[in-house]
Amino acid sequence: MDDIFYLSPVKLNTDCICRVFQNVDSIYVENFRLSGAIQINTGRQLINMTLMEPLEFYETNRKFIQTHEIEGIVCISHHKSCVKETLELAKMLLDRYGGWIGNDNDGFLLVFDAANISSFSY
């Protein structure tokens, strides 16, 4: 599994994330409120989305979080072979709440928003 991060300007919880996907056909969403996670079954892969806190990151990432006033962070674990459908779901979060999708590295680089998510690369 590979990770990308949804970096939201809005405080998030598992319920508001699940609502984004509630009307999407052909996926099943399970909410694990107590652990701060949801699991999405697309029929081809399981995508895990886990809420995270800024202190769970290295200093470079925390600087990005502070500079961009990030209020919610979601780790999106997915299979690299199914990244297209993962990005389709990530774009739904971007369209609803704004923010960015960042890579799993120092500073979340490269960072993508709703306008350029189709050019995502690791």
Over 90: is that where the pLDDT of 107 sits?
no
Spatial contact of 100 and 7, defined as CB atoms under 8 Å apart: yes
Q: What is the pTM of this model?
A: 0.94
Question: 121 in a domain, yes or no?
Answer: no
**How far is Cα 51 from Cα 54, in angstroms, rounded to an integer?**
10
Question: 122 in a domain, yes or no?
Answer: no
Q: Is the Cα torsion angle 11, 47, 75, 121 positive or negative in sign?
A: negative
Token digits of residue 33: 């409120």
What's the total number of domains in the chain? 1
Query: What domain range is 95 assigned to?
Result: 2-116
| Backbone region of residue 105 per phi and psi (left: phi > 0; alpha: psi in -120 to 50; beta: other values) | beta
Mean pLDDT over 91-106 rounds to: 95
What CATH number does residue 103 fall under? 3.30.310
Residue-wise pLDDT tens digits, 50-93:
999 988 988 889 999 999 999 999 999 999 898 999 999 999 99
**How far is Cα 93 from Cα 39, in angstroms, rounded to an integer?**
15
Sheet with 28-32, edge to edge strand ranges: 28-32, 37-41, 46-52, 72-78, 2-8, 100-103, 111-112
Percentage, residues of the chain above pLDDT 90 = 77
